Amino acid sequence: MGLQWTLISCFLYFEIGLCVLFMLPFISPQVWRKIFKSRLLSFLSNFSYFYVRLLMLGLGVAFLSSISQLRKYDIDSDKLEDVTLSMPGAAQNYHIHLLRAQRNFYISGFTLFLWMILNRIVQLITAQAQLQADLKATHKQALSANEVANKLLNDSSSSGIQDTRNDKEENLANSEKEDATKNLEALKTKLEKAEDELCEAKTELKQTQTDLMTMKSQSEATKCEYDRLLEEYSVLQKKIQQDSNKKDH
């Protein structure tokens, strides 16, 4: 494996590690939001903006190059048989080059795909943390408005035994009570809306995590298939060498 593909593989493993870290249940979205908003991470994000874009451009070029290599070694089976008859070792060389092209294609493709998934996961975690903060603040406002409404209700009930000189104050208390009730209803509506948005964000995040686990399983299966084909190639190569030695003797 060349140096560039080794670096891309290391970056792919780094992305998989980040995805697994984001999926840990004991780290709350509020903690991740504080980390994302920290000064150190903000400084690193601003400083590495250009280099990250340059890295994505390099990954795109590597992905297109792997596609070109796949098309280069994509030949018909009839042509491959003709080449095998004329040059016995050409088929093995063809298969090893094809396996390398497929490996490079999967590595670069999964790296780009995981980068997009990571960006989406960060957005969902940030949105979920914001919704939880809004939900908590709205809940506190609703409780406060409810306490004010109950207090005004008790005050208006106790003032009913006073004489007609307190009618003006009673009307004012009733008006404040109605305003507090309206505010309470508005806060309840906002609270219900925030809960719905939070549920949608959790559902989308769960779907993204499921897609990530599926992709990880496919990547491991591809790696196992590559190792198996490489072992078969080694066995065939040893067999060809043994046949060549027998012919020489």
Residues 56-65 as b or e (16 or more Cβ within 10 Å = b)? eeebeebbee
Rounded CA-CA distance 213/115 in Å is 15
Is the model's pLDDT at 126 over the cut of 60?
A: yes
Looking at residue 178, its pLDDT comes to 77
pTM of the entire structure? 0.55
Of 43, 20, 22, the closest CA to residue 33 belongs to 22
pLDDT tens track for 157-180: 665 555 555 566 666 667 777 777
**For 33-74, what is each residue's pLDDT tens digit?**
888 888 887 787 777 778 888 888 888 888 898 888 888 776
Residue 209 has pLDDT above 60, yes or no: yes
Q: How far apart are CA 91 and CA 77, in angstroms?
A: 11
Task: Give tens-digit pLDDT for 136-155.
Answer: 888 888 888 888 888 887 77
Q: Quick check: 195 and 107 in contact, CB under 8 A?
A: no
